[in-house]
Amino acid sequence: MLEMKNVRKVFRTDMVETCALDEFSLTVDQGEFVTITGPSGCGKTTFLNIAGLLETHTSGQYLLDGVDVSQLRDYARAKLRNQKIGFIFQSFNLMPDLNLFDNIDVPLRYRGMKSAERKERVDKALDSVGLFARKKHVPAQLSGGQQQRVAIARALVGEPLFLLADEPTGNLDSNTAKGVMALLEEINDSGTTIIMVTHDQSLAEQSKRNIHILDGRISNNTEQTQQKAAAAA
């Protein structure tokens, strides 16, 4: 489903050249829950940006659902993002001027979906995160945990191939974070692939596989047993 081979990402300025990812090879299969951990500046976000087609890589090969994305132009990358990937951001990234319904509706509109189908999907997504009754509210009227649930609903509404979560509990208190994690596990159990970047080792241990990055390279790629994951939970 997601396959990276010797992916390298170099940031260049006039004075400095920084290699954010180096010889990075990784395969993620359908239905996996993979966490990406590592210290600050190790390349976690760079990996997430490249995996989510938010940035291009410098060299190497990246196959997304069998498509080599290396040579794709901006338009094709936007369409792939829209159809294959769901994003969950640390700061939720909801549109403050839009109500919950319109927020979740955003990716479907870019897909050109008809109004009736969009409404059905958005209502279902809101219902799945328990916020259907508040669909006319704006994000500022919700708690942090509720806002992240809206963001999860937005990520799921397009029925993507996989979810990319960037520190999804980073801005939440521990109790709320547990709730969000439980929701993500539930989503994963229903068959959706999740790749989650986190610096929280305890959360990482709840996933099926943990990849540790150090200086732009994978330093550890660990399959975790369900028992261990359950114990950690």
Partner 1 sequence: MEIGPILRALSRNKLGVILISLQIAFTMTVMVNAVFIINERSKLMARPSGLDEPNTFYLSSTGFGDQFNSQVTERDDLELLRNTPGVIDATPTNAIPISGSGSSDGLRIENDPTLPATPAAVYFTDEHSVNTMNLTLIAGENFSASDMTYQSSNERRYYRKAIVTLALAEKLFPEEGLAAVGKSFYRDQAPVQIVGIVERLQAPWPNSFFVEQAMLVPLNFTDATSTYLIRTEPGQRDRLMVEIEETLAGNNPDRIIRGLKSLQETREESYRLDSSMATILLVVIVTLVFITSMGIVGLAVFGINRRRKQIGTRRALGATQLQILRYFMLENFFVSGVGVSIGAVLTIAFSIALSSLFEMPTMDWYYTPIGMLLLIAIGQIAVLGPSARAAQIQPAIATRSI
- Which chain residues interact with partner 1 by CB under 8 A? 45, 48-49, 52-55, 74-75, 78-79, 81-83, 87, 89-91, 93, 95, 97-99, 102, 105-107, 109-111, 138, 154, 158, 166
Nearest 5°: phi and psi at 59? -155, 175
- Min CB(222)–partner 1 separation in Å: 25
To partner 1, the closest distance from the beta carbon of 81 in angstroms equals 5
C-alpha 36/C-alpha 49 separation (Å) is: 13
User: What is each CA distance from 173 to 50, 140, 170, in whole angstroms?
Assistant: 29, 17, 8
Min. distance of Cβ 106 from partner 1 in angstroms? 5
Name residue 86's amino acid. Answer: G
Task: Compute the Cα dihedral for 195, 40, 8, 107 and give only its sign.
Answer: positive
Q: Max alpha carbon distance in the chain (Å)?
A: 54
Residue 78 or residue 233: which is nearer to partner 1 going by CB?
78
Smallest separation (angstroms) from partner 1 to the CB of 141: 12
Please give the DSSP secondary-structure letter assigned to residue 140.
Answer: G
Q: Which is nearer to partner 1, 26 or 94 (CB)?
A: 94
Helix/strand/coil percent split, the chain, to 5: 40, 25, 35
Give 95 or 182: the residue with its C-beta nearer to partner 1. Answer: 95
Report residue 110 as tokens: 């870019």
Residue type present at position 2:
L
Minimum CB distance to partner 1 smaller for 139 or for 208: 139
Q: Kindly tell me which of 102 and 205 has the beta carbon lying closer to partner 1.
A: 102
CB of 103 to partner 1, least distance (A): 9
Q: Which is nearer to partner 1, 93 or 222 (CB)?
A: 93
The total number of residues written for the chain in this structure:
233
**Is the Cα dihedral 132, 136, 139, 144 positive or negative?**
negative
* Least distance from partner 1 to the Cβ atom of residue 101, Å: 9
